[in-house]
Chains A and B, each alone.
Chain A
Amino acid sequence: TQLLEQSPQFLSIQEGENLTVYCNSSSVFSSLQWYRQEPGEGPVLLVTVVTGGEVKKLKRLTFQFGDARKDSSLHITAAQPGDTGLYLCAGINTNAGKSTFGDGTTLTVKP
């Protein structure tokens, strides 16, 4: 069974601070996705990383896929209250055709 561990589980910061959340596994994935989920809604895809060592930027968000394709990080610069939500990572094995999710990091950004 492939497992994804996310850390920290909870993070509460002030507006303007920087933060990094992590997604780690002992398994290799074909690709890894990051989602953000707000209460009462389904997860919304933020990014997909495919190549080991890949770095993708989405405005203030920077995503990195580990060289061995087993881990990933999400860094947010100058966090804003609108960044508040549950951040989920999901590992994908193309042949398996399914996603394996971590339990997420709940981020609260206080104004």
Chain B
Amino acid sequence: DAGVTQSPTHLIKTRGQQVTLRCSPKSGHDTVSWYQQALGQGPQFIFQYYEEEERQRGNFPDRFSGHQFPNYSSELNVNALLLGDSALYLCASSFSSQRSTDTQYFGPGTRLTVL
């Protein structure tokens, strides 16, 4: 049973460019959350997708957008990249009942470097 997978593993971009990161959830999971983890810090919640819609959003600008597909996989898009966007981007999947969110499992992350 494959866990959460993310691609690419590493990515180097320049300021102003756009980037798309991808995540496939653990089998049986229907909810995907994205986190940004800067060096030396804990993960910061970006947003969560459930039933192909953004269900929750953290304190991130509109340059950060996402999408969830019918197969529950998800993409994170970042436009107009800034140097400060350099970080490890983590995807976490879980199974959501109507009233609660079960334990989430994290992927290995995508290391984004903006030059």
Q: Give the distance in Å from the alpha carbon of A99 to the alpha carbon of B103 in the complex.
A: 10
Selected from A4, A41, A90, the residue in CB contact (under 8 A) with B108 is: A41
Q: Is A101 an interface residue (CB 8 A)?
A: yes
CB of A41 within 8 A of CB of B56, answer: no
Contact flags A46-74 to B (C-beta < 8 A → 1, else 0): 00100000000000000000000000000
Distance in angstroms from B92 CB to nearest chain A CB is 8
CB of A99 within 8 A of CB of B104, answer: yes
CB of A40 within 8 A of CB of B108, answer: yes
Task: Classify chain B: how many residues form its interface, as a range.
Answer: 20 to 34
Q: Is A45 an interface residue (CB 8 A)?
A: yes
Contact flags A88-106 to B (C-beta < 8 A → 1, else 0): 1010101011111111100
Selected from B40, B44, B96, B106, the residue in CB contact (under 8 A) with A42 is: B106
- Known interface pairs A42-B4, A43-B43; A97-B48 also in contact (CB < 8 Å): yes
On chain A, the residues within 8 Å of B25 by CB distance are: none
Q: Which of A6-35 contact B (CB under 8 A)?
A: 6, 33, 35
Q: Give the distance in Å from the alpha carbon of A41 to the alpha carbon of B68 in the complex.
A: 23
On chain B, the residues within 8 Å of A43 by CB distance are: 43, 90, 106
CB of B106 within 8 A of CB of A100, answer: no
Selected from B45, B55, B104, B109, the residue in CB contact (under 8 A) with A100 is: B45
- Known interface pairs A101-B43, A104-B42; A94-B101 also in contact (CB < 8 Å): yes
- Known interface pairs A97-B48, A103-B40, A103-B42; A42-B90 also in contact (CB < 8 Å): yes
Give 10 nearest A-B pairs by CB, closest first: A42-B106, A101-B42, A103-B42, A94-B100, A98-B45, A101-B43, A97-B101, A103-B41, A43-B106, A98-B56
